[in-house]
Structure 1
Amino acid sequence: MNTFRNFILATCCLALVATHQSAAQSSKRKKAKAAQEAPAPQAPAPSEHDKQVSEALFLDGMKYFMLEDYQQALQLFQKAYTVTPNNAALNYKIGETYLHLKEFKSAMPFALAASNLEKTNAYYYLLLAQLYSEQQQFNAAAQAFNDLLRNVPNSNEYLFNLADLYLAQSRYDDALRTYDRIEKEFGEMEQLLVNRQQIYLRQKNVDKAIAEGEKLLKANPSEMNYFLSQAELYNAARRPEEAITTLNKALRLDPNNPFAHLMLSDLNRQQGKLEESEKQVKLAFASANLDIDTKVRILVDFIRQLPNPQIEPLALELVDLTIEKHPDEAKAYAVAADLQTIVGQKETARNNYLEAVKLDDSHFKIWQQIVLLDAELEDPAAMVKHAEQALELFPNQAVFWFYSGTGHLIEKNFEKAVKSLEYGKRLSLNEPELEMQFNMQLGDSYNSLKDYTKSDAAYEAVLAQDADNEHVLNNYSYFLSMRGEKLDQARQMSERLVKQHPTNPTYLDTHAWVLYKQGNYSEARKYLEQAVAISDDATIVEHYGDVLFKLGKKEEAVSQWQKAKLKGEASAFIDRKIKEKKLYE
């Protein structure tokens, strides 16, 4: 309701001066009408001296009012009121002062008195309407406007205020009737058509809204937004052909309008015209006038539908267009990378994420995606580099310490790995799952450093939290077998693992090697035969040869060692084993 206040404040001084100048003339008129205007206080007519005192107090009050010292102004106005209670301007000013003090109920009797004492002053009704509105008495506020329109000559401009008030109350039919009155007074106006259309839409009367839209197009044949809105209305009314016709008219005005192309894409898709739909959406994305946020929203919709081979080519083309048209927008590269990650273009995705952080390095999730892709691409050097770049920005994010440590572990920088992993572990104490991941890697790292006490403690911490953890059951049991320590515990762990994963060749090999270390060669051979039937991994094949040698099958053992050597990943002893036909460990 700020409109009311603006009217009041902007013209208050003019209204007051005019009222005081006509005080003498209006005095006689007030006396003649005193009986009918009961709300005005009944008091003896003030003397000339009293009028002068009242006016002096009023002017002093106005000084404070203009300085926004409303309490002091009110005291002076009230003193003036005790002398001239029937002064309309004074009643108005007291009411307005209470309004500024947000004492709306206190203001009401004075606003009512002002409008009763001076029925042709528009500003008195405006004050009254605002006070009613501030108290949520909208019907009374509307009545104040109607009284203004009835009593104040040449006041039809206030029909707009009345219509707005009806609209705010959702009194749509009253608002429509008021618009009709405005149109009769001022003629057809663009805003009236827009407002009527909005009312019809709120009433769910799409046909009438469309009719108003046609009037808007007729009156504004070059306004692109009206064509787009009208097409949306036709689509909502399930009149797609008319929507398409409207959009084609729009494109004759602006052939490159991306929003028209987007709507045509959607309409053609609804009709099963997929080729035309793709053509239109590509035209939209080829426009730099289609903002990046709109493009991102559309691409996110594509991402939600992936993986889907039918839409992947189009989606990939759209992300390329987005980057082409918005090369300085981090969002363009990030959304492209999100989509490319899902469809398996991991290296391209990582490169686009890296472009995104060049433009805006503040997004934790993008850095996280980068190191995840480094891991999936088996690029430990990049994982270390990017994790450490991320740590410069997010030093307290444990996940980046994890990837830094893991990268160092893979690259066999075990001291650096332990340093990163231990630091990150301290940051993850309130995140049990993440802490467990740190302990898994610490177990491997400390084992490589031959710090077996810390390695075993890290593994035990994981198993205390997850007794079936595959990584730890495999590595812990294998490393114990290699050390020849706690072999019964190693056997229990590896046996548990192969029961859960009976076709995993790595786990079969681990269990076989524990059995081998315990001297149970026949059992070890059984599991290794299962493993080599599934995998030709050099280590597994070499282990199979070792078991055969222990079982007295030397020629067969040498044959397996030779196969292992061909793989190029066998132990350092493989050549001596083959050459001397002896077992070296």
Structure 2
Amino acid sequence: MKIDLRNMGVWVTVVLIGAIALPSLARKKKMQPVGQQQQTVRVDSLSPNNRKRYDYFLTEAARQHAAGNYSAAFDLYEHARNIDPNSATANYYLSLYLTEMKQDSLGLLRLQKAIEQEPENLIFAERLAQYYISKGKYEDAINAYEAVYAKNHSNTDVLRVLAQLYQQQKNFKMMLNTVSRLETEEGESEQFTLTKMRIHEMMDDKKAAYNELKSLVEQHPLDMQYKTMLGNWLMQHDRQKEAFKYFTDVLKEEPDNSYAQMSLYDYYNATRQADLANGMLDKILMSQKTDTQTKIMMFRSFIQNNETEDGDSTKVIALFDKVLNVPQPSSEIAEVRAAYMSLKKMPTDSVISAFKKVLDIAPDNANARIQTIQLLWNQKKYHEVIEQAKAAHEYNPEEMIFYYFGGMAYYQNKDEDAALNEFRLGVAQVNKLSANDLVSDLYAVMGDILHQKNQKDAAFAAYDSCLQWKADNVMALNNYAYYLSEEGKDLHKAEAMSYKTIKLEPNNGTYLDTYAWILFMEERYVDAKTYIDAALKNRDSTENNSTVLEHAGDIYAMNGMVNEAVGYWKQALDDDHQTEILKWKIENKQYISEEEFQRKKNPAAAELKKSKVAGKSAGKKNKKGKKK
């Protein structure tokens, strides 16, 4: 029997349902491992021999489980249970396995049997509660957890789960009771008070919620956070005048308290005091004592209000410029400004300038540089892309994306040597954490460039590296396969790669043409016709299809359909595609290979080439003979 229980190192995951996070203090729950808790003493019903057998199977089961041999462990636990059907330990562990095997009913029976034998074992009892949660039986889970807590009050983790279960059941009264029990066990805390306040809110008991929060303020008169929090609560419940007093009291004590300043800003907006709101906004944003994240929050709030009112983006940009027009401006705020301009679809040059502003402040900001490069790329400003990539190599040398963009920009500028060098610098940064897609694409383009430079072996090696990183890189698969077919070698490998591309993109005319041509090179002319017809049907009308049309003519000719073949050859003959061999095929109404055509065109040169090849072959044979 095979059981896939690789994740059974952690027996169960407790589903936590509630939205309120209860505080976890220093006290830890006191639990003992299975088998070490106080157990009910009972008479051993086994004979000495069976007791030895039982102990052996139980010990060996635990050893097999620890070694990860879960099927063997399961069988051994079952052997132990057959010897002693009342074994709490064997039944307990079998219940875990059975639950993992989706045999929930049988697993529950085994667990209940274990609890029946050792009712005081809290691990068994808690496991039962967890089982009920996993099945969505929350009432049963509550009863089970309450039973666990009744036997061990120090296990406050159980109370936290109970509080969330009661919340899920919308039993807020018992939720409140549970938090109170937590306070009894762990002592009062600010977080417990806030939790009770939120529970009262859920119960729509505003007076009780207010009293909880007010008691927190009274207990901590020097903590301005709680006063501000109470002010915000009052604001939410339309008690603005009382809220205003708390905010101003806090700011008298701590004039630079950004939390109170933000709350007062919200108050001015809520009471439609625009001038005072703007004044407070300026104070928050222009203060060097206000942290950056608070400023960003204020910008987002201002933008949201602006969108609600008139959506005048010039007001937002003016505010950004004002805040950034200081010594040592924040790069984070500059980045928010650039993102806002991009979101509002402002002129591309303006957005580029905004991201360049970010880079002026923080030249190592990789995200801002990527955004800049992508915008420049869309404008086909390849020289500027190259400059940005060079700068990135200085500040972010490990980021391969910049080598990719830099190399592609060189390639677009027809500087193949520089592009190749850039890609080589990029792959030199490859490590185990590198993105597979990006590394694969780098090698793929290297392969294309190397093949254009007639460095075919190096090109094929680059394609092999590309496919190691991403086996389904369709463009690389197609180009590699086609270039192999042009060489007339490794045709089976080429066919397998090309077949992958048409499986991945069955309506891609280019990939269908490549596959048809490889079949043609393998002399499978009937099959080749099927796929070249599909390629013709799916060809892109915006591209030059001369090669596809010439291939169609060649394939039709070898299928004996000469008139159709000539028709395709004539369609292939255009201003950019007027080769001598194509003209010969049209004139002679027959297919001829490149090699045969060159032999007909220049018999002497072909014969000389043939003799040289034969000479090399003979030389190799002689050398082998000498070695022998």
| Structure 1 residues 105 and 396: CA distance shift in structure 2, 3 A | farther
Residue 46 of structure 2 aligns to a residue whose secondary structure is coil
Task: Report the Cα offset of residue 81 of structure 1.
Answer: 0.8
Q: Which residue of 1 aligns with 2:208?
A: 208
CA contact (8 A) 1:268 1:274 kept: yes
SS in 2 for 1:362: helix
Q: Could you say which residue in structure 2 is the equivalent of 1:334?
A: 338
Q: Which moved more, 1:318-327 or 1:132-141?
A: 318-327
Deviation at 1:184, TM superposition (A): 4.3
Q: Distance in 2 between matches of 1:369 and 1:341?
A: 17
Q: Structure 1: which 5+ residue stretches go unaligned?
A: 32-44, 372-381, 402-585
**CA deviation vs aligned residue, 1:400-451 (integer Å, no higher than 9, x gap):** 99xxxxxxxxxxxxxxxxxxxxxxxxxxxxxxxxxxxxxxxxxxxxxxxxxx
> 1:204/1:197 Cα in 2 relative to 1: closer, same or farther (>3 Å)?
same
TM-score, scaled to structure 2:
0.48
1:236-247 to 2 correspondences below 5 Å = 236-247=236-247
- Aligned pairs for 1:19-168 (under 5 A) are 26-28=41-43, 45-99=45-99, 101=101, 103-151=103-151, 158-168=158-168
Measured after TM superposition, the shift of residue 48 of structure 1 is 2.8
Distance change >3 Å, CA 109–CA 293, structure 1 → 2 = farther
Q: Describe the superposition over 1:159-199 as per-residue Cα deviations: whole angstroms up to 9, x where unpaired.
A: 33322322344332221122233344554333322222232
Match of 1:297 among 297, 300, 304: 300
Q: Is the 8 A contact 2:376 2:384 kept in 1?
A: no
**TM-score by structure 1 length?**
0.52
SS of alignment partner, residue 41 of structure 2: helix
Equivalence map 1:246-325=2 (5 Å): 246-251=246-251, 254-287=254-287, 288-291=290-293, 293-301=296-304, 304=307, 316-322=318-324, 324=326
Structure 1, 122-131 or 246-255: larger mean CA deviation? 246-255
Offset, 1:312:
6.1
Over residues 496-519 of structure 1, what are the superposed CA-to-partner deviations in whole Å (9 max), with x where a residue is unaligned?
Answer: xxxxxxxxxxxxxxxxxxxxxxxx
Length, aligned pairs only: 364
Q: Is this contact kept in 2: 1:331–1:356, CA < 8 A?
A: yes
Q: Based on CA coordinates, which of the two structures has the bigger radius of gyration?
A: 1
Asked whether the equivalents of residues 337 and 353 of structure 1 are also in contact (C-alpha less than 8 Å), the reply is: no
* Alignment partner, residue 370 of structure 2: 362
In the alignment, structure 1 residue 15 sits paired with structure 2 residue 53 = no
Structure 1 position 88, deviation (Å): 2.3
Q: Secondary structure at the match of 1:55?
A: helix
> Aligned partners of 2:369 and 2:336: how far apart in 1?
14
Residues 204, 285 of structure 1: alpha-carbon distance in 2 compared, 3 angstrom cutoff: farther
Q: 1:340 to 1:385 in 2, by over 3 A?
A: farther
Match of 1:198 in 2: 198
CA distance in 2, matches of 1:156, 1:348: 58
Per-residue CA deviations over 1:20-39 (Å, capped at 9, x if unaligned) read: xx77x6114xx9xxxxxxxx
Residue correspondence of structure 1 range 173-572 to structure 2 within 5 A = 173-221=173-221, 223=223, 225-251=225-251, 254-287=254-287, 288-291=290-293, 293-301=296-304, 304=307, 316-322=318-324, 324=326, 326-329=329-332, 330-334=334-338, 351-356=353-358, 359=363, 360-363=368-371, 367=375
Which 10-residue stretch deviates more, 80-89 or 351-360?
351-360
- In structure 2, distance between residues paired with 1:369 and 1:276: 45
Counterpart of 1:316, as a letter, is A
Could you say what the CA RMSD is over the residues aligned between the two structures, in angstroms?
A: 4.6
TM-superposed CA distance for 1:127, in Å, is 0.5
Give yes or no for contact 1:337–1:350 (8 Å, CA) kept in 2: no
Q: Would you say the 8 A contact 1:4–1:126 is kept in 2? A: no
- Contact 1:70-1:101 within 8 A present in 2 as well: no
Q: 1:189 to 1:351 in 2, by over 3 A?
A: closer
The one-letter code matched in structure 1 to 2:322 is D
Query: Would the alpha carbon gap of residues 383 and 167 (structure 1) be closer, same or farther in structure 2, given more than 3 Å must change?
Result: same
- Report % sequence identity: 16
Shift of residue 116, structure 1, vs aligned partner: 2.3
> 1:4-26, CA deviations, whole angstroms, 9 ceiling, x for partnerless residues?
99xxxx9999433425xx77x61
Are the equivalent residues in 1 in contact too, given 2:190–2:216 (CA < 8 A)?
A: yes
Relative to its length, the structure with more helix (as a share) is: 1
Unaligned segments of structure 2, at least 5 residues: 1-11, 17-27, 390-403, 414-628
* Cα distance, 1:142 vs structure 2: 0.7
Three-state SS of the structure 1 residue aligned to 2:161 is helix
- Larger RCO, structures 1/2 (Cα 8 Å, 6+ apart): 2
- Quick one: distance in 2 between partners of 1:267 and 1:113? 62
| Counterpart AA for 2:300 | R
Whole-Å separation in 2 of the counterparts to 1:317 and 1:90: 70
What amino acid sits opposite 2:42 in the alignment?
A: S
User: Which segment drifts farther, 164-173 or 332-341?
Assistant: 332-341
| Letter in structure 2 aligned against 1:363 | Q
Would the aligned equivalents of 1:258 and 1:283 in 2 still touch at CA under 8 Å?
no
Q: Distance in 1 between matches of 2:236 and 2:351?
A: 38
Distance 1:267 1:202 in 2: 24
Give the superposition deviation at 1:67. 3.2
- Over residues 489-545 of structure 1, what are the superposed CA-to-partner deviations in whole Å (9 max), with x where a residue is unaligned? xxxxxxxxxxxxxxxxxxxxxxxxxxxxxxxxxxxxxxxxxxxxxxxxxxxxxxxxx
